[in-house]
Chains A and B, each alone.
Chain A
Amino acid sequence: MMDNGKLELVCPAGTPAALRVAVDAGADSVYCGFRDETNARNFPGLNFSCDELADSVRYAHVKGARVLVAINTFPRAGALETWHRAIDNAARLGADAVILADLGLLAYAADRHPELRRHLSVQAAAANADAIRFYVKNFGVKRVVLPRILTVAEIAAINAEIACETVFVFGGLCVMTEGRCSLSSYATGKSPNMNGVCSRASHVHYREEDGELVSRLGTFTIDRVPKDEPAPYPTLCKGCFSAGGYRGHVFEDPVSLDAAALLPQLAGAGATALKIEGRQRSRSYIRDVVASFRRAVDAHACGQPIPTGQLRRLSEGQTTTAGAYRKTWR
């Protein structure tokens, strides 16, 4: 547990090199996954072999940082062995915690590796104090990553009721409750829950049409932009559609979260840690974003104003949003 009021900075590592960069830039903890379908960022060229994880754990521990292993997809029926082996390997290689979402996996980890810290993934969608209590009581969960649909007031209310660390997430905003979304498999056959992928690149097509660049996911048009403008990646829920006379971003605008501006409120709401998204991002992005957050967290802990500009520059979209952390977002 970190000092009261000082947020733990949990940073992404898609590769061993990114892990070292994040640790060197000031991450308190780094999260990563194995190179298979057991984690929710199962992208080509990303993630860790057992040997890489072992080396990375050693590197992080020497520098005083922790390594959290995300095994946060839902195991495929008939293939539990792959996921069980991932948990066994994380325990064997000295991971500081595993991040899990599936009930059966939580039960397996609690039973076989009681000494291995269990964190609840955002994919488990524990969105209120009763749900969190359920996971704490049944599986000894020590920390829960809160769904991004919650407001600051809701986060504060949860923290007032439970004896469990909580984490909030900075990154590309998932507007749907994570772990409960099959939009991607409806369009492509591949989903976050089953395959660790959303709006997978292999199903993305771009074509020029009438002076516009059309981006499609599977057979569905997700967006159209003038051809000299940068085309956003066609993540399904961030696309442009029409419904009931409304035409535009029906589900969500393509913005990312400016959590730095909200950092004092979130710390005040009693959260333990701030998790940065981006296991698929470059080392230079990781270096900049981790260093920026390090400065922001340290500044806040010392009672100084938070430098927000650098974080805004790093965000994915043209503008940033306070996301669900402000009630009007809904």
Chain B
Amino acid sequence: MTEGEHMHKGATITLGPLLFNWAADQWSDFYARIADEAPVDRVCLGETICSKRLPFYIDRIPEAIERLQRAGKAVILSSLALVTLLRERRMCADLVAAGDIEIEINDLTILVHLGGGRRFTVGPLVNVYNEGTLAWLAVRGASLICLPPELPFASIQTLAQAAAQAGVESEIWAFGRVPLAISGRCYHARVHGLAKDNCQFVCGEDLDGLKVETLDDEDFLAINGVQTLSFTYCSLLADLCRLQAAGVTSFRLSPHCCDMVAVAKLFRQALDGALDGAAATQALAALLPAAHFSNGFLDGSHGAASGHGQPSHVAG
């Protein structure tokens, strides 16, 4: 398949799972609005970060699924990223048993339960760094693979082409704080002097994560319970053209407190060619005036860097 053919197929947009601990009402309102107004093709629902959060909104999920599906969006249920406890293993099994909704695997644990040729999607926290692993997952039933956010452009290009050959959609992390690490320890609890088992759900105070600064007051990272994210918001708005040309078929937006409907509209317009990268980037900056943006993983310098679609040198 040529690059040109990819470009004209029309890229899709996936709204990734909400990573943060939002109150149930906010959760419901958010997905209702996404269903009614956001130009996204797929929506991932479910808890990927902390199994203790799920009981607070699990009752809201069926209604959200129905509303999103009624609005013509594909719904995907996302699995937990780090599975250690029996309760968490049961969550994985329950997700598979829940019905015929497609599942996004965020840890290989759940593949034990996914048999019988059932299709699934692969989230960005599964290590798909090369075409050998991609091919194995494709044979196993993967229909879409969201690549790890730290991959440089050359790897994305190779993998997007391998995905096309395998009949799999290739997706990349295009908007939002980048997931960088996951731990058994809860950092929100730790910085509040609490134990994880008695965390009082303090992560619920930071709807986009809690900023981590260096001792020289540089903005650096953000913590979200057991997860560590980038301080910067990844934005690949200015890179969409070359990524589509490289064969990437889907772009992932990660939910934040900002106006996600407006963010999705910008990406849709940029992907459709109705808005150029620079104008879209400018509009995004206006939507999130306090955010700092990065796309450094793409050019292989470092993740925190920001360039504007210019191929940059590779740092030592």
**Interface membership of A181, Cβ < 8 A:** yes
**Interface membership of A283, Cβ < 8 A:** no
Closest approach, in angstroms, between the C-beta of B308 and any C-beta of chain A?
18
Write out the residue numbers on chain A whose beta carbons fall within 8 Å of the beta carbon of B69.
none
Interface residues of A in 292-330 (CB under 8 A from B): 324, 327-330
Interface residues of B in 63-115 (CB under 8 A from A): 81-86, 88-89, 92, 107-113
Write out the residue numbers on chain A whose beta carbons fall within 8 Å of the beta carbon of B81.
180
**Interface membership of B182, Cβ < 8 A:** yes
CB-based nearest A residue for B111: A134
SS of A interface (majority): mixed
Write out the residue numbers on chain B whose beta carbons fall within 8 Å of the beta carbon of A219.
218, 304
Q: Is the CB of A130 within 8 A of B302?
A: no
A149, B212: Cα distance in complex, Å: 22
**Interface membership of A206, Cβ < 8 A:** no
Of A77, A237, A328, A329, the most chain B CB neighbours within 10 A belong to: A77
Given A77-B155, A130-B83, A176-B182, the answer on whether A182 and B148 have CB atoms closer than 8 Å is yes
**Interface membership of A244, Cβ < 8 A:** yes
Write out the residue numbers on chain A whose beta carbons fall within 8 Å of the beta carbon of B211.
243
Q: Is the CB of A150 within 8 A of B84?
A: yes
Q: Is the CB of A102 within 8 A of B83?
A: no
Q: Is the CB of B92 within 8 A of A130?
A: yes
Contact indicator per residue, chain B 167-180, by CB within 8 Å of chain A (1) or not (0):
00000000000111
Write out the residue numbers on chain B whose beta carbons fall within 8 Å of the beta carbon of A17.
none
**Interface membership of B192, Cβ < 8 A:** yes
Which residue of A75, A105, A176, A241 contacts B181 across the interface (Cβ within 8 Å)?
A176
Write out the residue numbers on chain B whose beta carbons fall within 8 Å of the beta carbon of A245.
191
CB-based nearest A residue for B223: A243
**Interface membership of A224, Cβ < 8 A:** yes
Write out the residue numbers on chain B whose beta carbons fall within 8 Å of the beta carbon of A107.
132, 136
Q: Is the CB of B109 within 8 A of A241?
A: no
Write out the residue numbers on chain B whose beta carbons fall within 8 Å of the beta carbon of A264.
none
Write out the residue numbers on chain A whose beta carbons fall within 8 Å of the beta carbon of B212.
241-243, 250
Query: Across the A-B interface, how many residue pairs have beta carbons closer than 8 Å?
Result: 237
Q: Is the CB of A185 within 8 A of B150?
A: yes
Write out the residue numbers on chain A whose beta carbons fall within 8 Å of the beta carbon of B158.
77-78
**Interface membership of A175, Cβ < 8 A:** yes
**Interface membership of A12, Cβ < 8 A:** no
Q: Is the CB of B155 within 8 A of A186?
A: no
Q: Is the CB of B303 within 8 A of A220?
A: no
Q: Is the CB of A329 within 8 A of B185?
A: yes
Contact indicator per residue, chain A 208-247, by CB within 8 Å of chain B (1) or not (0):
0000001000111111100000000000010111111111
Q: Is the CB of B190 within 8 A of A250?
A: yes
SS of B interface (majority): mixed
**Interface membership of A274, Cβ < 8 A:** no
**Interface membership of B14, Cβ < 8 A:** no
Closest approach, in angstroms, between the C-beta of A53 and any C-beta of chain B?
23
Given A80-B130, A128-B89, A130-B109, the answer on whether A182 and B84 have CB atoms closer than 8 Å is no
Which residue of B130, B190, B216 contacts A74 across the interface (Cβ within 8 Å)?
B130
A175, B178: Cα distance in complex, Å: 19
Q: Is the CB of A194 within 8 A of B129?
A: yes
Q: Is the CB of B184 within 8 A of A150?
A: yes
**Interface membership of B34, Cβ < 8 A:** no
Given A180-B127, A189-B301, the answer on whether A221 and B210 have CB atoms closer than 8 Å is no
Closest approach, in angstroms, between the C-beta of B17 and any C-beta of chain A?
16
Closest approach, in angstroms, between the C-beta of B20 and any C-beta of chain A?
15
CB-based nearest A residue for B81: A180
Q: Is the CB of A103 within 8 A of B136?
A: yes
Write out the residue numbers on chain B whose beta carbons fall within 8 Å of the beta carbon of A177.
82, 181-184
CB-based nearest A residue for B191: A246
Q: Is the CB of B131 within 8 A of A221?
A: no
**Interface membership of A127, Cβ < 8 A:** yes
Write out the residue numbers on chain B whose beta carbons fall within 8 Å of the beta carbon of A75.
129-130, 132
**Interface membership of B143, Cβ < 8 A:** no
CB-based nearest B residue for A103: B133
Closest approach, in angstroms, between the C-beta of B104 and any C-beta of chain A?
16
Q: Is the CB of B130 within 8 A of A102?
A: yes
**Interface membership of B306, Cβ < 8 A:** no
Closest approach, in angstroms, between the C-beta of B247 and any C-beta of chain A?
12
**Interface membership of A133, Cβ < 8 A:** yes
Q: Is the CB of B82 within 8 A of A183?
A: no
**Interface membership of B154, Cβ < 8 A:** yes
Q: Is the CB of A243 within 8 A of B109?
A: no
Closest approach, in angstroms, between the C-beta of B175 and any C-beta of chain A?
17
**Interface membership of B56, Cβ < 8 A:** no
Given A78-B131, A78-B155, A134-B108, the answer on whether A149 and B314 have CB atoms closer than 8 Å is no
Write out the residue numbers on chain A whose beta carbons fall within 8 Å of the beta carbon of B301.
189
Which residue of A102, A154, A224 contacts B132 across the interface (Cβ within 8 Å)?
A102
Write out the residue numbers on chain B whose beta carbons fall within 8 Å of the beta carbon of A187.
302-304
**Interface membership of A76, Cβ < 8 A:** yes
Q: Is the CB of B191 within 8 A of A250?
A: yes
**Interface membership of A108, Cβ < 8 A:** yes
A202, B230: Cα distance in complex, Å: 22
Contact indicator per residue, chain B 183-206, by CB within 8 Å of chain A (1) or not (0):
111110111110111000000001
Closest approach, in angstroms, between the C-beta of A51 and any C-beta of chain B?
27
Which 7 residue pairs of A and B lie closest in terms of their CB atoms, listed nearest first? A104-B132, A149-B184, A186-B303, A74-B129, A104-B133, A246-B191, A77-B158
9 contacts between A and B (CB under 8 A): A80-B131, A101-B127, A104-B132, A128-B109, A131-B83, A186-B178, A194-B150, A241-B221, A330-B197
Known: A128-B89, A214-B216. 8 other contacts (CB 8 A): A75-B130, A102-B129, A182-B181, A186-B304, A218-B304, A220-B304, A224-B216, A250-B212
